[in-house]
Amino acid sequence: MFDALTDKLGKVFDGLTGRGALSEKDVNEALREIRVALLEADVALPVVKKFIDDVRPKAIGENVIKSIKPGQLVVKIVHDQLVETLGGDEEPPPLKIDSPPAVIMMAGLQGSGKTTTTGKLAKRLKEVERKKVLVASLDVRRPAAMEQLRVLAQQVGVDALPIVEGQLPPDIARRAIQAAKFGGYDVIILDTAGRTTLDDQMMNEAADIAAIANPNETLLVADSLTGQDAVETAKRFHERLPLTGLVLTRMDGDGRGGAALSMRSITGLPIKFAGVSEKIDGLEAFAPERVAGRILGMGDIVALVE
């Protein structure tokens, strides 16, 4: 991920760090190139504008211009702003799963990787958090989705709510919560239906389920490969649902990375997890510091300045 952005930023910073002194003109020229690189990486325009506006006064300040290694200091300033844009120094807040049975509702468009992510998250909760997990598919329009989740649950060693033909999603949600209570489960994950595009029927159904389930967490699963579309999806869902966090899938395949840089800034929601491979264990806690380091590919310089 971020390959194209890393290459472009690397060239900008090579030009800066190779000089013994920097003028304000040099820094402004570099910032113009960084702006173009971010836009080409599909980062949303308001996010790019704010990023450059935040970096500029720090990068052309007296401390930078008069420092012994000004180029390296600019790298550090850009790195710190990337971390801030992605969510700040701290790890995303942990999932609120302390009151059993905690309900996690998964939302997102069809094809975003929602069902697969449900299986990955169930595995993580079982193995890392040592929780007893039940998963339930509410996607009655796509019977293959219900079967897919049942198979995934079997693979990761968690229970799946038995499929009852003809039940509507709200009824499945009620049955799932009852089963979780009677079965002594710590966590239940509700995999809601998606569509290929946003529509009112899907949103109304998701809102109804949220009202019934009163979820502890409502996670939006978004495909990072869709770039600006993923950002728009997040905005639309957040207007209708009480989202608590984001999960970005296919981050291993996104050479641009614009969705990751835009979504936190535009929605204000933490990116809690990143899907990093097709494998069932390919789900990582999202760490802004680590991702910023990967984008810049200059961890040695950042560490040196620190």
Please tell me the chain's helix, strand, coil percentages from 3-state DSSP, rounded to the nearest 5: 55, 10, 35
At 85, list the tokens.
């844009």
pTM to 2 decimal places: 0.86
Q: Under a CB-based contact definition with an 8 Å cutoff, are residues 124 and 286 in contact?
A: no
Taking phi first (over 0 means left), then psi (-120 to 50 degrees means alpha), and beta for anything else, what does residue 220 get?
Answer: beta
Helix (H), strand (E) at residue 257:
none
Q: What is the pLDDT along the chain (306 residues), one digit of tens a residue?
A: 577 788 888 888 887 777 767 778 888 898 999 999 898 888 888 899 999 999 988 888 766 656 657 777 888 888 889 889 888 877 777 889 888 999 999 998 878 889 999 999 999 999 999 999 999 999 888 778 899 999 999 999 999 999 888 899 999 999 999 999 999 999 999 999 876 666 777 788 888 999 999 999 999 998 877 767 777 777 888 888 888 999 988 877 655 567 778 888 888 888 999 888 878 888 988 888 888 888 877 655 555 555
